[in-house]
Every structure is written in C-alpha cells, then in structure tokens.
Amino acid sequence: MKTLIIYTSQTGFTRKYAQWIAERMHADLLELTEARKKAAEFFGEYQAIAYGGWAMAGTLVKLKWFLDKATAWKGKRLAVFCVGGSPQDNPDVEKMLGKLLQMIRGSTSRRSIVRAVSIMRK
C-alpha cells in the first residue's frame, strides 16, 4: 500500500517519529510546508495518508489542514499521530483525545481516524 506521512515539527521530535514511522511502513515522507504546495492530484497516488504534529494547548497543531484535505481523500486510509511531553496518564491527554474526537466525529470520510483515536484512548 503506497503511504504518505505528512508532519510538522518545531523542535525535531515529531520529525524523528515521522521518519521512524515512514521507515517502518516504507512510506514517503513530506513536511507540511511542502505538502501545502502540492496539487490535489499529488495525493491521488496514495492509498494511506497520515499526519503528525505536536500537542500544544490541548490540541494537535495544524490538524485543521489535514482534516480539511481529508474530505477530498475518499477511500483512503487516514491516520494522525501526536508527539507531546505529558505522561500518558496525565488527565490532559484524555481531554485532548476527547477534543480531537469531537473535531473529526460526524464525517464519513473521517471515520477511520475516529476509530484510531478511540483505540488510543483505551
């Protein structure tokens, strides 16, 4: 399955995780600033697209770009990942995941993301 990992990184941590994921999945890797320059046709060759960013103020940075694009990516497997400094048992992590679910719930093209986030919450 041809896969694309799109990421944004401020300190380099998210870039490192994106690289690890891309290596493991034999995926192409693209920084968000470059992804924003691509025409819609560019994404057509991928069966799966993942977006990664860092957690800040209870949200995933620049997620809106990915969710806006996801509405046009019908039939693709979609995923998001997040890098942050809080311990997993921090209640703020649960709040952020709940907020993320609220942002993406209700759209058929986003159901696979909802399922992935739900699994992360368990």
- Structure tokens belonging to residue 93: 């992590």
> Which tokens hold the place of 3?
């896969």
Question: What pTM was computed for the model?
Answer: 0.80
Q: Which pLDDT belongs to residue 81?
A: 87
Residue 109: partners with Cβ closer than 8 Å, 6 or more residues away = 70, 71, 73, 74, 78
d(CA 36, CA 109): 20
Query: Per-residue confidence of the chain (122 residues) as pLDDT tens digits?
Result: 999 999 999 999 999 999 999 999 999 999 999 999 999 999 999 999 999 998 877 778 888 898 889 888 888 888 888 887 777 677 777 777 777 777 766 554 455 554 544 444 44
Ramachandran category for residue 106: left, alpha or beta (phi over 0 → left; psi -120 to 50 → alpha): left
